[in-house]
Structure 1
Amino acid sequence: MKEERVNSWLELQEALFAGSWNEGLRRFRPSFAFRGVPNARHDLSTSLNRHEGDFAAHEKDLLRAFRKYARGGTQPCASVWDWLALAQHHGLPTRLLDWTFSPYVALHFLTEDPELYDTDGVVWCVDYHQTNRLLPKPLQAQLREEGADVFTAEMLASVARELSVFDRLTKHPFVLFLEPPSLDDRIVNQFALFSVMNGPLLRLDAFLENQKRGVHRLIVPASLKWEVRDKLDQANVTERVLFPGLDGLSRWLRRYYSSRPR
């Protein structure tokens, strides 16, 4: 896995958009999923397998209870993948991990907490064209049939209706990227993606360590975070946009008016 440390805003832009030219389309259309993390030492464990996997043994129970008690809501869920996306969106421990198509949204999450501005951050960049090469044949066939690069819940359900079926597609670990249904404006505005692996205890960072192509980490030094944050604010990539509503507005104002240490 490649790791690069950037030292300026311009270097960061070059690194984020490197390889984005698509000759076939004659457009700048990158095939990367991005995840911004405020602390470069943090891993890619999910909420399900974090803390030594306390929740992993209860994945089925958690999801069953969520489906039972959430049925009174207004969100239609046609498959287990819709339910997983809804559960992840509302904070239930799941095997999903949040990503985005947008490098700037990733930078937002890298810089959203001023209390961590003394710590190096990281943007994970994963080319899903490369990780798709390692998918089981039924999943690859579904992508070809749909002419797609990432999965929807409906596409995934056509191959694996339940998690148990999904986990048995192959003995080898793999990752795919799932574009969630548009549950609300937050999902839409964050250009959201989820990653999912074929086992509740599998760790994405461990899987990506062995990938020589299509995976890199961009280290954003602590000394650059204030500049990145200020330029994102000027570009209107803020909590007010990414978390529509009064909560997002309050988060934005609280951070925007925080003072920089002298």
Structure 2
Amino acid sequence: MNEVRVSSWNELLECLYEDAWMSNIQRFRSPYAFRGLPDASFSLMTSLMQLGGDFPQLEGHLLRNFKKYAHRDVVEQDSIWHWLSLAQHHGLPTRLLDWTFSPFVALHFATATIECLAIDGAVWTVDYKKAHDQLPYLLKAHLAEEGADVFTVEMLQGIRTLHEFDNLAPDTFIAFFEPPSLDDRIINQYAMFSVISDPRVAVTEWLEQHPDTYRKIIIPAAIKWEIRDKLDQANINERVLFPGLDGLSLWLKRQYYPVEQKKIPPTS
């Protein structure tokens, strides 16, 4: 089954770390990308799709003007992948979607929104190795040549435009890549991005067409506060993931949230 509903912290950890043992290297190395959502009903829509209207036609205009008005020295190299990473990181609507290598970071984003703690959340897990089995030959060969499972922006630099990327294969595909270390937030969140070859296709839709690549773990509202408190004690919080005064303020706001205002549904 692609949708799993857990009922306890221990069961949740078992689900998150399932298939992490790699017998070929005798180490625990999970092949999953994780994305936490505070509301289980949310789909994996990119910020570009959320604009609505004729959003595919807006993509080029958004990125072109971002490049025009941004300082030229804010990226290491003048490549589409550096600019896309920077734009996504700073909130520009793009076809990229944020993921993390860390299941605990994903849990943070599934439980950090106080307004959503009384409703079920979710963590999506995608096996990026299986997803990359659907890549066009050129990209698969590049991964094999590098001995890598996930791309870096440097590995993608031979593809100069999104149009070129989209036309590598007739069928829609998804690639996962690590963004450059733009700042401490990228580093601390152990971030990665997905990029889809057709901006009109939601990642949810692509995954449903490839059911062997993903699972959706439903986190009941009844255990969200327990998860949240345990993450805070493990130092997985805004103070660390969003370094600076803004993250500190968000963390303190939740730390001192009045107990009597907590809305915790019954477990049955």
For the superposition of Structure 1 and Structure 2, which TM-score range results when normalised by the shorter chain? over 0.9
Cα distance in structure 1, aligned partners of 2:152 and 2:51: 29
Cα distance in structure 2, aligned partners of 1:210 and 1:133: 14
Could you tell me how far 1:202 is from its partner in structure 2?
1.5
Cα distance in structure 2, aligned partners of 1:107 and 1:192: 14
Aligned to 2:170: 171
Cα distance in structure 1, aligned partners of 2:62 and 2:28: 41
Cα distance in structure 1, aligned partners of 2:233 and 2:110: 16
Could you tell me how far 1:51 is from its partner in structure 2?
4.5
Aligned to 2:28: 28
Cα distance in structure 2, aligned partners of 1:231 and 1:77: 40
Aligned to 1:101: 101
The code of the aligned residue for 1:171 comes to P
Aligned to 2:147: 147
Query: Which residues of 2 match residues 191-210 of structure 1 at below 5 A?
Result: 191-210=190-209
Determine helix, strand or coil for the equivalent of 2:212.
Answer: coil
> What RMSD in Å do the two structures reach over aligned CA positions?
1.2
Aligned to 2:266: none
User: Runs ≥4 in structure 1, deviation > 4 angstroms?
Assistant: none
Contact map agreement 1:176 1:197 (CA 8 A) in 2: yes
The code of the aligned residue for 1:74 comes to V
TM-score, scaled to structure 1: 0.97
Aligned to 2:215: 216
1:87 aligned onto 2:87: yes
Q: How many residues align?
A: 261
Aligned to 2:61: 61
Contact map agreement 2:48 2:95 (CA 8 A) in 1: yes
% identity of equivalent residues: 54
Q: Which runs of 5+ in 1 are unaligned?
A: none
TM-score, scaled to structure 2: 0.94
Cα distance in structure 1, aligned partners of 2:7 and 2:157: 43
Cα distance in structure 1, aligned partners of 2:135 and 2:213: 15
Cα distance in structure 1, aligned partners of 2:52 and 2:169: 24
Cα distance in structure 1, aligned partners of 2:200 and 2:26: 41
Contact map agreement 1:36 1:107 (CA 8 A) in 2: yes
Stretch moving more, 89-98 or 251-260: 251-260
The code of the aligned residue for 2:138 comes to P
Could you tell me how far 1:75 is from its partner in structure 2?
3.1
Could you tell me how far 1:210 is from its partner in structure 2?
2.0
The code of the aligned residue for 2:242 comes to F
Could you tell me how far 1:19 is from its partner in structure 2?
0.7
Cα distance in structure 1, aligned partners of 2:53 and 2:43: 14
Q: Deviations along 1:160-215, whole A, 9 cap, x unmatched? A: 11111001011101111010000000000000010110022111000101223131
Contact map agreement 1:55 1:93 (CA 8 A) in 2: no
Contact map agreement 2:207 2:213 (CA 8 A) in 1: no
Could you tell me how far 1:141 is from its partner in structure 2?
0.5
Aligned to 1:138: 138
Aligned to 1:236: 235
Could you tell me how far 1:77 is from its partner in structure 2?
3.1
1:124 aligned onto 2:113: no
Q: Deviations along 1:16-63, whole A, 9 cap, x unmatched? A: 001100001111101100000000000001000114354332100110
Cα distance in structure 2, aligned partners of 1:103 and 1:254: 23
Could you tell me how far 1:256 is from its partner in structure 2?
1.1
